Every structure is written in structure tokens, then in C-alpha cells.
Amino acid sequence: MTKGLDRLRDLRAQGLLEKAYDEVPRLLAGETGEPEVGGLELRTAGRLLAGVDPAAVLAHRPATPVITVAVTGSCTVGPVRDPLTAELARHGMLARTVTGDHGAWLRDLTDPAGALRAADPEFTLCLLDAGAVFAEVPVPWRPEDVEEAAGRLVDRLAAIAADWPGTLVLNTLPLERRYTHQLVDHASRARLGALWRDANARLLRLVESSPRVVVIDLDPLLGGAVPVADPRLAQYAAVNLGAELLAGYAREVAHLVRSLRGRTRKCLVLDLDNTLWDGILAEDGPEGVAASGSLRGEAFHTFQRVVKQLAAQGVLLAVNSKNDAAAVREVLTGHPDLLLREDDFAAVRANWAPKDANLREIADELGLAPDACVFADDTPAERAQVRHGAPDVALVALGADPALHTTALLADGWFDTPALTDEDRARAGRYRGERRRRELRAGTGSYEEFLTGLDTRVDLGPPRAHEFPRLAQLTQRTNQFNLTGLRLREDELRAYAADPAHRLLLAARTADRFGDHGLTGALLGRYHESAGVLELENMWLSCRVLARAIEQACLAALLAAARDDGLNAVEARWLPTPRNHRARGFYPSCGFEDVTPPNRDPAAGERRYRHDLTRLPAMPDHVRVDPPVLERTGHRDG
């Protein structure tokens, strides 16, 4: 029995589970990054956590994210609740689940007065199995009958998706042998397989037309030799999706929730010896390490290919290794086996300092918080030190066999994101520009001289058609300068931009002498015409351009535009989150008056501000802003 489960039982027995909920992620993840509670043991952990009172947790830990999840499906779906509860807890989130009636997925999703809609879930899981199709085919049946039934099912799901208020999570339908082999001729089996894959392809393409739909492809889980179901449980209890499959599905859902809640990691930090190459550099020398030429060497080469693939999609790479810097540089620049080179890494720490200290320095150098980093290392003692000294860093436990490195790296989907943008793909190049900025900083006297030397320019205006995916990503990923914690989807942002009479949505695009930062900030507001007030609902600014007065410049430009437009005031609010405490004084620093009502609940921490536009803040000298034009048309309500 694992220590993590024992500790969970002890906390529950003592009535302390709610108070100590912040311990749960560590208990489930383990001290060295190897899961303390893994596989189907998560069901046990989930049962222990299912009785947790969310209100009691929030009373002790008010910053804990609570996720309301509704679950329905064409079969018995109750068994997904425990692993899902545990998977969300493993990532520091608290599940509040609502389960629909057995097999009543269509009614659950279409009844406007039903229990699922009444719960107002943030995520709705509709678990479907092959029975959702075969229940509607005649006996005897032909492949063409299945094709028609599958088409009707996908059409129903498309109609539901178009109207569902939250995120709707669907899945591809596994086709089991008990269905295919009811056909005795191979030609009919081939026909059934082809049309079944066509139906699943239509399901997967729903995400293209319905931005609030996510379809989890079960094929990668089944490809890992996970059985679809136990035939006895399927027959007698309608458990058509088995425990192992549901555990893997729950993990994928947790990764999805994490990414939509802005918890996607941004930087992969790698050890070198027996992680990126075979051998120990300090003992074997540059000529003694390898990443090809042998079975083990080729495994390291494969791992490097995977790492490079992640980097091409915007994952920043860094090195954290106990080695001499000169020797590491020699290998990274000239070793013939290496696919990854020095320029592929945004930061390199090769020294004999503790790795937790190096990780904190890497995060600081890249303008990230430690909880944006993932550290992969093959030494348990090093990972344990990082867990203790930099607990917010996610750990990937690499074992002695490099053939398993890729599986370990990808297991937790740390870098999963709702959508990939051009900004993501260009991120590595931008951080190379950041290295040149650091060189400029090192060569100038004061910080003010450095900022002046940057020649920063900001284009502030309505978002362009192709920018909405990046804009949604910015709201979902930004934590430090997200003044209310608000996160928005692409369809919501498009709706706001389409209503300039009532809503204000501006995108900030930033560049300097070293290159284009891309879309780095946004402002969202609402007009109250009767009062002549613009209510600034939120501001976001990417952490990579913080501390350069860009946020002050954007707000100063907005205030000037509001006064020119004849408005009387701009109002705003700050709502504390676990990560935005440094922005608490932002509005007062720009001349806003604190107008928080005295009877406001102090536990909520919300502050309200107002600027009367009589004395505008000065534009920072070192930032040039193309000022926005407030395009208000038509009738505006109050």
C-alpha cells in the first residue's frame, strides 16, 4: 500500500482532509516525481476524496480552483467519477461532479430544465460507446444500417454542440470485436471498419465548427493495450467502458481542464547525463557520450526528436545539469550525435549548484513563474531536492531505460493547450531575441537606460480576424498580470468584438529593436452609456513583457482615448488570484481612486477603482503607443 494513500486515509479519519487539501497533489505525485498513487489506485484515492466538502476546502484554502463537471453517457458512467476526482486533485483542483441518469444522455443534453443544465457545469462529459449506435440498428443488420445509425448520432451531437453553454467533451467510439465479428465475411467487416472510422472522423471534426466542443480520441488509449471493457460487466451492468479505459480517459480530461484553466506549462527543463545523451560527461568526456550508434544511443536520439517536436510547437527548452559549462557547450555545439543544439535552448545552467536553485534562476531569466516549468531528470535524489526546494516545478521521472523516456515525458500532457497559434511556433525565436535583450541590459547602466535602448512600440487596437485563437490563449494562460483571473474562449471573444456599441476589446501587439513580441496583451470593457462610463472588466499582459511599463502605457492610451470620446470616467476592479498579487496596486499607480464599498466582503479581496479622466497619467517616455480609437456605434444601453 502506498504512503500517499495511507496519508489520505489518515487525514480523512482525523477529519482533516479539507484543511490539508493543499497536501493532496504532493501525496498523489510522490516526492521524486514517480506517482505515489498510480494507475487504478487512483480510483481508491478518488473514493477517499469524493466525500470532500468543497465549501470546507474553500474555507481553509479559498484559492483552490473548483471545477463543476457533469457526466452523462450511453452506458454506466459512474465509474469515471473516482479517477476523475483524483486526477483533478493531483493537479491541485477540486471536482464537484453531477451525474446524469443511466443511459439518458440524449435527454440529459437536450432537456433545458434538466439536472445537468441546472448545475451550470463548466465541463460536460458525454461518454459514448458503440452501443449508442448499435441500439438503433435492426436485427439482422448490414454495414449500411450501421452507417445510417452512426450518421444520425453524429448529427444529434452536432446540434447539441451548437447550443451547449459550457465545454462539451465527447469521445470517439471504440469498435469492438463482438460487433465486427458478427459479420462472417471479410468484405463486410472491411466495409464496417471504413464507415465506422468515417463516423469517428466526423466526430473529431466537430471541433472545427463548434469551439466549445472537445473530442477525446480513445484510439491512443486503446493502442496501449487497454481493453475496451470486461464483457461480463458490459452484459450485466452496462459498463461498456472498462475501468482501465476510464482511468486513462479521466487523465485526458484532467489535462484538458488544466489547459483551459490556464495551467499549461511553458518550459521543459532537461538534465543532460543519461537524460539527453547516454553517458556521464564529467567521467566519459565529450567523446564518450552518445545519442546514436547503439541500441541505447538510438533511444536517446528518439527522445531528442520528441523534445525537438515539442519545441517546434512553442515549448521552451532549457538545460539544468551538474557539469562544467565549457564541456556542455562543446557537446551542444559540436557533438555529431546531437539533434538538439545550444541555440535550441532558451537558457542553459551547467554548474555544480543545487538544481532547485538553478530552476528558480531559469524561470526568473525567462520571465516565468516556477509553476510554468517541467523538469525531467533520471536521478531520484535530484528530483527529490527539486520537489523540496522548488515545489511548484512539475517533475518527470526518467528511469534507467531510455526507451521509456518519451512515455514518461508525454504521460502527463504538461504542455497540452486548447489550440496552437503562430505565436506558439515563433516563441523560441522570440526568446533568442530575449537573450540579446539581456546582453543589452548587462551593457547598460541603469534600468531606465536599458528600457530606452529597447525602443518599445505598442500597436493597440481591435483584434484582427486571425488573432482570436492567440487572444483566447492569452486570457487562458496569463496568470501574473490577469487582474481578475478571467479566462475566455475564442467564441466569447469574437462575440465581444462583434458588439462595439456595448463592448470594448483591444489587443496589444508589442515590438522592439530586437524583434516582434506578437500579441502580448488585451483589454476588455463594457460601456454604460447612461452614466458615460467605461467599465474596464479586465486587463491581461504576457509575463514575457512585464516590467517594461507596457501595461502603464496601454492604460494611459486607453484613458486618453476615453476622454477624447467624451466619456466621464473609467471604472475597473482587481480580484485576487493565487498569482496576481503583484498587480494589486496597478490601478492606483495610474491615478485610479479606490471606491470599494465599505460593506464589501473583505474575504473576497475585491477592490473597485474609478478614474474621472481629469488628470491623465503620463505616457512612459520609452514606450510608443499607437492610440486606440473607440469605435462605438448604434444604441448603447446602461
Q: pLDDT tens across 60-89, in order?
A: 988 899 999 999 999 888 899 999 999 999
User: Does residue 65 have a cis bond before it (omega within 30 degrees)?
Assistant: no
Confidence at residue 43, expressed as pLDDT on a 0 to 100 scale: 84
Is pLDDT above 60 for 358?
Answer: yes
Helices 468-477, 490-497: inter-axial angle, 10-degree rounding: 120
Map out the domains of the chain as residue ranges: 65-260, 267-410, 433-626
- Find the mean pLDDT for residues 176-200: 96
Radius of gyration of the chain (CA): 27
**Residues 94, 84: contact at Cβ < 8 Å?**
no
Burial of 229 (C-beta count, 10 Å sphere; 0-12/13-18/19+):
buried
Confidence at residue 103, expressed as pLDDT on a 0 to 100 scale: 84
Confidence at residue 225, expressed as pLDDT on a 0 to 100 scale: 66
Read off the DSSP letter of residue 619. Answer: P
Euclidean distance between CA atoms 226 and 229, whole angstroms: 9
Strand order across the beta sheet in which 213-216 lies: 94-99, 66-73, 123-127, 167-171, 213-216
**Residues 508, 550: contact at Cβ < 8 Å?**
yes
Measured CA to CA in angstroms, residue 244 lies from 3, 36, 222, 250 at distances of 22, 18, 10, 10
pLDDT per residue as tens digits for the range 509-541? 999 988 888 899 999 999 998 899 999 999 999
Q: Do domains 267-410 and 433-626 have the same CATH topology?
A: no
Q: Which of 317, 326, 373 is nearest to 344 (CA)?
A: 317
Question: Can you read off the three cell numbers belonging to residue 441?
Answer: 541590459
Euclidean distance between CA atoms 265 and 91, whole angstroms: 12
Euclidean distance between CA atoms 448 and 378, whole angstroms: 43
Q: How confident is the model at residue 636 (pLDDT cuts 50, 70, 90)?
A: very low
Instruction: List the beta strands (DSSP E) in 118-233.
Output: 123-127, 167-171, 213-216
Q: What percent of the chain has pLDDT above 90?
A: 68
Burial of 402 (C-beta count, 10 Å sphere; 0-12/13-18/19+):
buried
**What does pLDDT average to over the chain?**
91
pLDDT per residue as tens digits for the range 270-295? 999 999 999 999 999 999 999 988 89
* Lowest mean pLDDT across 137-141, 425-429, 613-617: 425-429
Is pLDDT above 50 for 45?
Answer: yes
Confidence at residue 420, expressed as pLDDT on a 0 to 100 scale: 83
Confidence at residue 460, expressed as pLDDT on a 0 to 100 scale: 95
- Find the mean pLDDT for residues 471-486: 92
Is pLDDT above 60 for 431?
Answer: yes
Candidates 3.40.50.300, 3.40.228.10, 3.40.630.30, 1.10.3720.10; CATH matching 433-626: 3.40.630.30
Q: What percent of the chain has pLDDT above 70?
A: 97
Confidence at residue 394, expressed as pLDDT on a 0 to 100 scale: 95
What is the fold of 65-260? Rossmann fold (3.40.50)
- Other C-beta atoms within 10 Å of 556: how many? 21
Instruction: List the beta strands (DSSP E) in 161-210.
Output: 167-171
pLDDT per residue as tens digits for the range 587-606? 999 999 999 998 776 656 89
Confidence at residue 441, expressed as pLDDT on a 0 to 100 scale: 82
Buried b (16+ CB within 10 A) or exposed e, 188-202: ebebbeebbeebbeb
- Residues 48, 49, 51: CA angle, nearest 5 degrees: 90
Q: How confident is the model at residue 197 (pLDDT cuts 50, 70, 90)?
A: very high
Is pLDDT above 70 for 11?
Answer: yes
Question: Can you read off the three cell numbers belonging to residue 596?
Answer: 470599494
Please give the CATH superfamily to which domain 267-410 belongs.
HAD superfamily/HAD-like (3.40.50.1000)
Q: At CB < 8 A and 24+ separation, what contacts does 226-232 make? A: 228/129, 228/174, 228/176, 229/129, 229/176, 231/178
* Lowest mean pLDDT across 33-42, 153-162, 507-516: 33-42
Instruction: Give, for 19, the enclosing helix (H) or strand (E).
Output: none
Q: How confident is the model at residue 632 (pLDDT cuts 50, 70, 90)?
A: low
Q: CB-based contacts of 586: which residues, under 8 Å, 6+ apart? A: 483, 551, 574
pTM beyond cutoff 0.85: no
Q: How confident is the model at residue 249 (pLDDT cuts 50, 70, 90)?
A: very high
Is pLDDT above 80 for 463?
Answer: yes
Q: Which of 446, 536, 529 is nearest to 486 (CA)?
A: 536
- Find the mean pLDDT for residues 118-146: 95
What's the one-letter identity of residue 518?
A: G
- Other C-beta atoms within 10 Å of 114: how many? 17
* Lowest mean pLDDT across 395-409, 438-452, 523-537: 438-452
Confidence at residue 91, expressed as pLDDT on a 0 to 100 scale: 92
Q: Where are the alpha helices (DSSP H) in 228-371?
A: 231-237, 243-260, 281-284, 295-312, 325-334, 355-365
Confidence at residue 40, expressed as pLDDT on a 0 to 100 scale: 64
Confidence at residue 638, expressed as pLDDT on a 0 to 100 scale: 39
Q: How confident is the model at residue 547 (pLDDT cuts 50, 70, 90)?
A: confident
